[in-house]
Structure 1
Amino acid sequence: MTGTAMHQPTTPRSVLFMCGMNAIRSPMAEALAKAALPAGTYVASAGVRHGERDPFVDVVLDEIGLSVGRHQPRTLDELEDDYFDLIVTLAPEAHHLALDLTRSMAVDVVYWPTPDPTVATGTREQIVDAYRAVRDHLATLINRRLVVAPAGEKA
Structure 2
Amino acid sequence: MAEGFARQFFDAESWEIRSAGVEQHGLNPRAVKVMLEKGIDISTHTSDLIDMAYFNTSDVIITLCGDALDKCPVIPASITHQHWDLTDPARATGSEEEILDAFRQTRDTISDLVKELL
- Say if 1:53 and 1:39 are closer, same or farther in 2 by CA, change over 3 A: closer
Matched, 1:75 2:42: no
1:29 aligned residue = 2
Matches within 5 A, 1:4-153: 28-40=1-13, 41-77=15-51, 81-82=54-55, 83-98=57-72, 100=74, 102-103=75-76, 105-144=77-116, 146-147=117-118
SS at match of 1:114: coil
- Structure 2 residues without counterparts, runs of 5 or longer: none
TM-superposed deviation, 1:110: 1.1
**Cα deviation digits, residues 30-80 of structure 1 (max 9, x gap):** 001110112321111001112122100110010011011422211113x78
CA apart distance, 1:124: 1.3
CA-atom RMSD, angstroms? 1.9
Which structure has the larger Rg over C-alpha atoms? Answer: 1
TM-score normalised by L of structure 2: 0.86
Among all aligned residue pairs of Structure 1 and Structure 2, give the percentage whose two residues are the same amino acid: 30
- CA separation of 1:88/1:30 partners in 2, compared to 1, >3 Å: closer, same or farther? same
Confirm or deny: 8 A CA contact 1:99 1:109 kept in the other structure. no
Q: Distance in 2 between matches of 1:123 and 1:93?
A: 25
Does the CA-based 8 Å contact 1:84-1:107 persist in structure 2? Answer: yes
Q: What TM-score, normalized to structure 1?
A: 0.67
Q: Does structure 2 retain, via aligned residues, the 8 Å contact 1:33–1:43?
A: yes
Aligned partner of 1:140: which letter? D
Name the one with the larger strand percent. 1
| Paired amino acid for 1:95 | L
Which piece of structure 1 moves more, 79-88 or 41-50?
A: 79-88
How many residue pairs match? The answer is: 116
- Cα distance between partner residues in 2 of 1:135 and 1:143: 12
Give the Cα separation in 1 of the matches to 2:79 and 2:103.
29
